[in-house]
């Protein structure tokens, strides 16, 4: 049974890789530089948009981070409506409320302002706006969004999710607590404004977990089987930027250079995994987010070393290359030694930033559900180095328990 499943997964992944050659992988247009966020007004005017919905969360709104953007837009004659009720791990009803708010206020475009949750909520709402006859559940999976959403502009306030450049939106079904993604190039933002000053006030915990989320994206994309020359280069650039800047941003939150480099690293990692996919770290993390509400970046950070160790020798060659790029294990000679040094450094970095090694939330009675849902997401979609069996996945999940 498992052997047949492995063959099916690899055949599916091969066909998907061939099919992906015919898809539009256009990246969002990057908006950078001094006051890059304020340039959004020009983008909206050039697209003849006179009313815009900003999708964000109450925390960012209360901090006043959107105030400068709102003022600029309103001064330029653009009506602004703010939906700030985005939840962590946005649910279907959360997305539906944002969609209704869009119509109630006569909006013509969407600005996703925040971390992964506002981005996912905005993408989901956009998909529902342009596909009113399709439910969120019917658009889960690959390429089920038929019509392109309204103009979507992304403004990340964390350096981690890469959602400003991805084709995915992860939504939680509040009835089943299942967290899964819709994947479609149609929901990819057309513009991404990177403005490091927005990230200088992030708490250390958010800086570390979102940064490790970006690292997970880059590493999982790099060691998978659907890489291209471009995704490999983007993943390598991301890993280098993250290893060189994450702890600086963590220890010195006002360091603009480190913050800017982390935004770039997150963006590059997003470009890489959008086309090369992620792996079992994400599969398991999504379940812990859906069932227990574990923040996605934290879940990825804790799980990453365990899954890399599970892959073993199948991942040594590429992990060794990443070790060289990150400047780890310079005196080591074999690929195995370098790969293990890379994993060890991830663990050490996490301890320095006070990331826990395990989860207290995982309950014995939930393990079978976590395993079933994780493998449902991962197989056959993700081109991982080693296909997990249910027994393999359970073993990893049990390693995560206190």
pLDDT of residue 2: 58
pLDDT of residue 34: 79
Q: Within this chain, do residues 224 and 330 fall inside the same structural domain, yes or no? A: yes
Half-sphere exposure of 232 (CA within 13 A, CB side): 11
Q: Within this chain, do residues 211 and 186 fall inside the same structural domain, yes or no? A: no
SS3 category, 200: coil
Query: Looking at the whole model, is its pTM more than 0.85?
Result: yes
pLDDT of residue 135: 96
Last residue of a domain, one of 199, 214, 244: 199
DSSP one-letter string for 3-29: HHHHHHHHHHHHHHHHHHTTS--PPPE
Q: Are 110 and 151 in contact (CB under 8 A)?
A: yes
Q: Within this chain, do residues 222 and 267 fall inside the same structural domain, yes or no? A: yes
Q: Within this chain, do residues 209 and 184 fall inside the same structural domain, yes or no? A: no
Last residue of a domain, one of 174, 199, 224: 199
Per residue in 320-347, pLDDT tens?
999 999 999 889 999 999 999 999 999 9
Does 24 map to a domain? no
Work out the percent of the chain whose per-residue pLDDT is above 90: 93
Q: Are 127 and 187 in contact (CB under 8 A)?
A: yes
Does 238 map to a domain? yes
pLDDT of residue 40: 97
Residue 289 has pLDDT above 90, yes or no: yes
pLDDT of residue 179: 85
Per residue in 229-257, pLDDT tens?
999 999 999 999 999 999 999 999 999 99
Q: Within this chain, do residues 181 and 295 fall inside the same structural domain, yes or no? A: no
Structure token pair of residue 28 = 């969002």
Per residue in 65-82, pLDDT tens?
999 999 999 999 999 999
pLDDT of residue 180: 81
Per residue in 196-223, pLDDT tens?
999 998 999 999 999 999 999 999 999 9
Residue 4 has pLDDT above 80, yes or no: no
Q: Within this chain, do residues 191 and 288 fall inside the same structural domain, yes or no? A: no
Q: What are phi and psi of 153, to 5 degrees?
A: -115, 130
Per residue in 110-152, pLDDT tens?
999 999 999 999 999 999 999 999 999 999 988 999 999 999 9
pLDDT of residue 23: 86
Q: Within this chain, do residues 368 and 309 fall inside the same structural domain, yes or no? A: yes
Per residue in 369-381, pLDDT tens?
999 999 999 999 9
Domain of 304, in residue numbers = 2-18+202-399
Q: Within this chain, do residues 206 and 168 fall inside the same structural domain, yes or no? A: no
Residue 3 has pLDDT above 70, yes or no: no
Nearest by Cα to 324 from 233, 240, 224: 240
Q: What is the mean pLDDT of the chain?
A: 95
DSSP one-letter string for 308-371: HHHHGGGGHHHHHHHHHHHT--TT--SHHHHHHHHHHHHHHHHHHTT--SSBS---GGGHHHHH
Nearest by Cα to 169 from 178, 155, 152, 182: 182
Q: What is the CATH number of the domain that holds 305?
A: 1.20.1090.10
Q: Within this chain, do residues 214 and 357 fall inside the same structural domain, yes or no? A: yes
SS3 category, 193: strand
What gap in Å lies between CA 245 and CA 234, rounded to an integer? 16
Q: Within this chain, do residues 229 and 372 fall inside the same structural domain, yes or no? A: yes
Mean pLDDT for 58-71 is 94
Residue 35 has pLDDT above 90, yes or no: no
Structure token pair of residue 62 = 């209360």
Q: What is the CATH number of the domain that holds 65?
A: 3.40.50.1970
The gap between the terminal CA atoms of the chain, to the nearest Å, is 32
Number of domains in the chain: 2
Residue 1 has pLDDT above 60, yes or no: no
Mean pLDDT for 285-299 is 95
pLDDT of residue 22: 87
Mean pLDDT for 56-61 is 95
Last residue of a domain, one of 199, 216, 248: 199
């Amino acid at each position: 049974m498992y052997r047949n499943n492995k063959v099916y997964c690899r055949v599916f992944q091969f066909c998907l890789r061939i099919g992906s050659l015919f898809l539009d992988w256009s990246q969002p247009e990057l908006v950078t530089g001094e006051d890059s966020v304020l340039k959004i007004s020009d983008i909206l005017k050039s697209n003849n948009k006179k009313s815009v919905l900003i999708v964000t969360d109450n925390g960012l709104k209360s901090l006043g981070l959107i105030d400068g953007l709102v003022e600029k837009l309103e001064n330029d004659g653009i009506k602004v409506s703010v939906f700030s009720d985005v939840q962590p791990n946005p649910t279907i009803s959360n997305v539906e409320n944002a969609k209704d708010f869009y119509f109630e206020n006569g909006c013509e475009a969407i600005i996703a302002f925040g971390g992964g949750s506002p981005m996912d909520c905005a993408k989901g709402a956009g998909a529902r706006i342009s596909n009113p006859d399709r439910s969120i559940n019917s658009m889960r999976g690959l390429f089920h969004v038929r019509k392109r959403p309204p103009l979507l502009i992304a403004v990340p306030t964390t350096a981690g999710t890469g959602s400003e450049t991805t084709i995915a939106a992860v939504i939680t079904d509040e009835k089943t607590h299942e967290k899964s993604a819709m994947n479609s190039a149609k929901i990819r933002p057309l513009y991404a404004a990177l403005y490091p000053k927005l990230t200088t006030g992030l708490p250390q915990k958010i800086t570390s977990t979102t940064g490790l989320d970006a690292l997970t994206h880059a590493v999982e994309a790099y060691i998978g089987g659907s890489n291209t020359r471009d995704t490999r280069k983007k993943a390598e650039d991301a890993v280098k930027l993250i290893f060189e800047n994450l702890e600086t941003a963590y220890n010195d939150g006002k360091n603009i250079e480190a913050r800017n480099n982390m935004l770039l690293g997150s963006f590059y990692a997003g470009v890489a995994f959008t086309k090369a996919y992620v792996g079992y770290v994400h599969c398991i993390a999504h379940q812990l987010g859906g069932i227990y509400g574990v923040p996605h970046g934290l879940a990825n950070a804790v799980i990453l070393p365990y899954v890399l160790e599970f892959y073993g020798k199948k991942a040594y060659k590429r992990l060794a290359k990443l070790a060289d790029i990150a400047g780890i294990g310079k005196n080591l000679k074999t690929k195995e030694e370098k790969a293990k040094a890379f994993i060890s450094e991830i663990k050490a970095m996490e301890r320095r930033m006070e990331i826990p090694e395990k989860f207290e939330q995982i309950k014995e009675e939930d393990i079978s559900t976590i395993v079933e849902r994780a493998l449902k997401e991962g197989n056959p979609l993700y081109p991982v180095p080693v296909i997990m069996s249910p027994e393999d996945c359970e073993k990893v999940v049990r390693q995560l328990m206190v």
